[in-house]
Amino acid sequence: MAGINIREISADTLIEILEHGQFSHIYLKAVLDKYGYLEKSERAFITRLVNGTLERMIELDYIINSYSKTKVKKMKPLIRTIMRMGAFEIYYMDAVPDSATCNEYVKLAKKRGFAGLSGFVNGVLRSIARDKGNLNITDLCVKYSMPQWIVDKWNADYGEEQTKEILKGFFEPEELCIRVNLGKITRDELMNKLKAQDISVRICDNIPSALYMAGFNVISSIPEFNEGLFYIQDYSSQLVPYKAGIKESDAVLDLCAAPGGKALHASELAAKGTVLARDLTEAKVALINENIQRTGATNVKAEQYDATVFDESSENKYDVVIADLPCSGLGIIRKKPDIKYNQTEESLAELVNLQARILENAARYVKAGGTLCYSTCTINKDENENQVENFLSSHKEFTIKNCEQLLPDKNHDGFFICVMKKN
């Protein structure tokens, strides 16, 4: 434990994400696993500091630039990261007094070879602390740290008032949602087991397999998780197999299945049927197989396959095809805050084209009378309602059974689900 500096760990994590392109949700998990021996409070501090700095980065840069002659973009990566973290702690965390926060970042700058800039770090952070809250930020992009082009797009799609509610929704605190493996245990039994470990548990009224939980340290330390009695799966994601109307003896194909949550859920609903879970890479298939093994599912097979390539052997074969396709991820910014900085209008257009290509294949895998369930974890209409409209215009054999756009709030992420029947 000697020499462990949780702010330094946080700074190195942020540099890897913001300067070197690591994905926040993957890299932060790896860091927390590496430092699994830290106290629960220390791990929570790292998580809050890293995710909070990412979530609020546009606002933090605005605050820093209001007090610094050297603008954030011109700073050296470590100093830029230190300044963002310090501004976030001053504005949004109260673990220590602001003066102590400033001192910690000055010490960190010196430790990492920037003693010559320690006075700059100290002066700017103390100015921010003295004047905290006096900046009148009204611009939505700055206030909610959302790139201008995304706000403009949502304003056009949803109107300004709804867009404001969407932006607020991303900052609602979110409990972890889990799916109970009802093939192994009842929801009440699992609740009692978790409560016996002083884990906070709350029932989700809308989905019989869902629970919200909080107050644990490391998920892998919970015996019931390792025994496959529950699976980490967001409320929105759990809705997909239910909405698809999967029946006990159905043959189900999940086209882009990793890490396997929907496929495993489908396997419970199609207890006497079969589920084929496909994904593009060997690593993703390995992840699906790991979860199949942990949960003990016996009617699921994982297979490596490129969903953009038509598979003749699958034509008209499946009762239900789940097409939870690659998307911009703009509905799950709360879980992956760096997404909003990495997406562009050009990458969005490429995704829309990719989705259309996969849907063309998916339509041909559905039996007559079967179901195609299209879903994304975004709230971008071009990927959702407009995509479905374009699909139906050239596939008259399909009709919509139900279609739902979930917007982010305290209970779930932004998510789109459209269930179509093949007549």
Residues involved in catalysis: 377
**Are 233 and 207 within 8 A, CB to CB?**
no
- Burial class (CB within 10 angstroms; exposed 0-12, middle 13-18, buried 19+) of 69: exposed
- Inter-residue contact 55 to 340 (CB < 8 Å): no
Which residues does 176 contact at the CB level (< 8 Å), separation at least 6? 212, 213, 214, 232
272 vs 3, 248, 262, 276, 300, CA distance in Å?
56, 5, 17, 14, 11
d(CA 196, CA 187): 14
Q: What angle do CA 247, 283, 383 make, to 5 degrees?
A: 60
For 299, the token pair is 């009617």
